[in-house]
Amino acid sequence: MQINFIPAVSRDAALVVMPVAKDGLARTIWTSVGEGGVPIAAVAASAARFAGEAGTSTELFVPGDTVRHVLLLGIGAGAEGDWSKAGGALVTKLLTSGTIEATVDLGALATAPTAAAVARFAAAATQRAWRHDVYRTKLPDTARPTLKTVTIAGAPTGIDAAWMPQEAVSKGLALTRTLVAEPANIIYPESFVERVRAETEGLGLGITVLDEAAMRELGMGSLLSVSLGSVREARVLALRWQGAGEGDPALALVGKGVTFDTGGISIKPAAGMEDMKWDMGGAGAVVGAMKAIAGRKAKANVVGVCGLVENMPDGAATRPGDVVTSMSGQTIEVLNTDAEGRLVLADVITWTQKTFRPKTIVDLATLTGAMIVSLGNEYGGLFANDDALADQLLAAGLAEGDKLWRFPLSDTYDKMIDSPIADMKNVGPRGAGSITAAQFIKRFVDEGVKWAHLDIAGMVWSDKASATWDKGATGYGVKLLDRFVADNFEG
């Protein structure tokens, strides 16, 4: 969907959207309606009990030189209101309504909004408009998106500078959502790499790709053990952004990219297995964040690394009880082949440290069903070896609506994954499943490296719509990571 900014409302605008603050109907400036329609509009809005609550709206048809279609849109209370909620609500209402263009009249407000507020409004509208209808060949006309453009009239000074980073994040979100939504016969390790390469071309990102031959030479036995049962070859993808000049990246973002997870020999139940196309949501968030960071030309050195595999059962697949050797040299007894994400992350984190030498690593993974049991679909789980890092991520998540909740790490939990025949086993007892998974990953983090693990199993896909997404892929993690970089790694 296109966002335009113009100085004033055009006389021939088919639909005028008038933002209204909570309890601010009496202060509304009705210039774009025309004097003849003002009394009718005011009475109609009052009769509809419209009070300007964020995200609420009411439609009016008012007389003038011609009958004008007006939509009153609530932006909420306070100096800044809730412009994100309002932007999402506008598109929710109009996306399939038959409306092609909506013009938002900021001049209707007695107090002009800030450029940042308007940029948030435009971003929410853009994000809510994302759809993945590629394979729907018989979609009824009434269900097809018609809204092509949101034009914002009277935007304040500085809107271009405020909109640029929001637009970059929105494009990153769209990439993440598309990757997560695509079926596993379309997005698999090799095609994931090619899709990302095409979608980030021209942004200035350095790209490194490892194939299985290169991984075998490096000794990535942990990651490769997951891929053994699939005809799809594994890949490691690294995207490097040097926005602060020469030098090692200060931050590495690492994503689990299991493009489909059957569970391997420890096969999952059939019911719901189709959802496992989004088991690459961590990798999806990483590449979306890297597209956003590069798109807004962040003044930071960041690398995003994805371990991409497909976990399938066949005669060559890893068996429960097998012992594999990771790139770090540590050995792992694989008790459950459905605990595969940590095996991928182990080698990717080791390779990232040896190759890029980051001081901070944040990994993201749809890692454990236990996290959904703990937090449902409201928060991602956070584990960290550094309190300041944990606080930074919590703050970024809260600011952007990608909420996190911190869990403990301790030696007691760590002992639960000791193996009698190898350095460790890949699962612990039934209890504390998300914590022992984090403890497993922690064993591959070098001394002195700040590290955080985000278990986002309940967050990358939603069965209900929100202000900025429809049912399906959410893009969780992109805004969180972009804000985390902006607040803590840019000078």
DSSP state of 302: E
Q: Is 342 a catalytic residue?
A: yes
The letter for the amino acid at 336 is N
With the C-alpha atoms ordered 290, 296, 297, 300, is the resulting torsion angle positive or negative? negative
CA angle 288, 293, 299 (to 5 degrees): 165
Which among 195, 268, 403, 442 is annotated as catalytic? 268
Active site residue 256: no
In the sheet where 149-153 sits, what is the strand order?
2-6, 149-153, 101-105, 15-21, 68-76, 57-62
Based on C-alpha coordinates, what's the Rg of the chain? 25
Going by the DSSP 8-state scheme, the letter that residue 451 receives in this structure is E
Which listed residue (177, 256, 342, 425) is catalytic? Answer: 342
Answer whether 180's CB lies under 8 Å from 278's CB: yes
Phi, psi of 212 (to 5 degrees): -65, -35
User: What whole-number distance in Å separates Cα of residue 63 and Cα of residue 70?
Assistant: 11
DSSP string across 110-156:
SSPPPHHHHHHHHHHHHHHT----TT-TT--GGGS----EEEEESPP
Residues identified as active-site: 268, 342
